[in-house]
Amino acid sequence: MAAKPVTTAAQQPIRFGRAEQVQAVVVAAAFIAAFWYQLGFVPPALGTLVGSWVYEEDWSHGPLIPLFSAYLVYLNWERVRRCRVRHTWVGLPLMLGGFLVYVLTQAGIVPYAYCAPLGMMLCLLGVIIWLCGLPVMRHAWLPWAYLFFAIPLPSTVYVRLTEPLRQMAATGVEVVLNWLPGLHIVRSGTTLVYFHGASSGQIGIEDACSGMRSTITLCALGVAVAFMSERALWQRALLILSCIPIATFCNFIRVTVTCWLHIFVDPKYASGMYHRMLGLAVILVAFGIFSGIGWILDHIVVEEAEAEPAAG
């Protein structure tokens, strides 16, 4: 009679009982403490990352990203729990390497500030593997990678990406609004000089109107829509590839409507609370577009039902 193979504790599926829950809380507290200069959430001395979420409008979506990342884990929770705990040792060098990069960056030895959150993310990856094993990354890589949407880009990269978007937005508004009767617009860089009847003025396409903020936010939204339900790989790839075109289109709508309100209604409707409300409306429009594409993809391919075997 053949002997049954012995399964070691390290090869058991992931468990999340009371002891594991306590362990998760302790590890989370230790992680936040270790990276307090990034994650400090007690005012007034907020961490670098949390502070950017609170004080920089371009990254105000940051707190929502970890919540949705957790939701992605929830969607795949049963698959995660069935993963075998194997090759946990891979997490150790990742943890140590990530923490070393973080410490060297905080000490100024590594001169690039962006390396601090990168080191933190690498350490987090190591923690996940150390606790759950390498196979779990088949389902945990997306929630981990999704967190990058909450990390501000380096300022030099952000400026280089923002300027072309500002130029694009200004050019689009100039072309479209010049079709309106009685209105003439001349673009000078990212400034629009308009003439409407006896009135004239200037509208500057500021960094906030470049679309960089909405591009990052809507890319996060598009990835969320792509992975919130079961889809074929090519459908998810198509949704992700459509993120930037949809974000650019929606930002064009927002800037065009903002300029129209400034010229034809009242400049106050193009700033402050009204401008933020318009931004929220554009996000809803983008969500509708993403959902519409998802619906089309769900119905464009009709799976043929397998023919039932003929009765013999």
- Put simply, whether the predicted model's pTM sits higher than 0.85 gets the answer no
For residue 173, what pLDDT is reported?
A: 82
Comparing CA positions, the residue from 49, 80, 76, 86 lying closest to residue 65 is: 49
HSE-up of 225 (CA within 13 Å, CB side)? 26
Peptide bond into 44 cis (omega under 30): yes
For residue 94, what pLDDT is reported?
A: 95
For residue 146, what pLDDT is reported?
A: 93
Residue appearing with tokens 């069935």: 82
Q: What is the mean pLDDT of each run of 10 residues along the chain (312 residues)?
A: 49 77 89 93 88 84 90 89 89 95 92 92 95 91 93 80 75 84 81 81 65 74 82 85 84 84 79 75 85 82 46 42
Buried/exposed code over 68-100 (b: 16+ C-beta within 10 A; e: otherwise): bbeebbebbeeebeebbbbeeebbeebbeebbe
CB-based contacts of 171: which residues, under 8 Å, 6+ apart?
Answer: 187
For residue 180, what pLDDT is reported?
A: 84
